[in-house]
Amino acid sequence: MKGVSNKMETTFEVKGMTCGHCVNAVTSEVLLLPGVTQVDIDLDKGHVLITSDTELDVNDVASAIDEAGYELVSS
């Protein structure tokens, strides 16, 4: 059905992000994951909100965050 959104939102806690560079690094890596359409980061809380078309594999998210130089604490 057209017009129906199947977007999923998942929040992850990430350790080590402190500035705009951190936000850009994590966003760039996570956007490379299949199905990811948007990444929103709350630096104060260390939260990464990922919007995707499909369910995310936590291991893939952890790898992307690790590639950016940070650590996934929880999902």
Q: State which H helix or E strand residue 7 sits in.
A: none
pLDDT at residue 6 in the model = 80
Q: What mean pLDDT do residues 50-62 have? A: 95
Picking from 15, 24, 5, the residue whose alpha carbon sits closest to that of residue 75 is: 15
d(CA 63, CA 72): 9
User: In this structure, is the dihedral angle defined by the CA atoms of residues 72, 20, 49 and 37, taken in order, positive or negative?
Assistant: negative
Q: Is pTM beyond 0.75 here?
A: yes
Q: How do residues 17-55 score in pLDDT, each as one tens digit?
A: 999 999 999 999 999 999 999 999 999 999 999 999 999
Domain extent listing, the chain: 8-74
Q: How confident is the model at residue 1 (pLDDT cuts 50, 70, 90)?
A: very low
Provide the CATH number for the domain formed by 8-74 in this structure. Answer: 3.30.70.100
d(CA 60, CA 43): 21
β-bridge partners, 12: 48
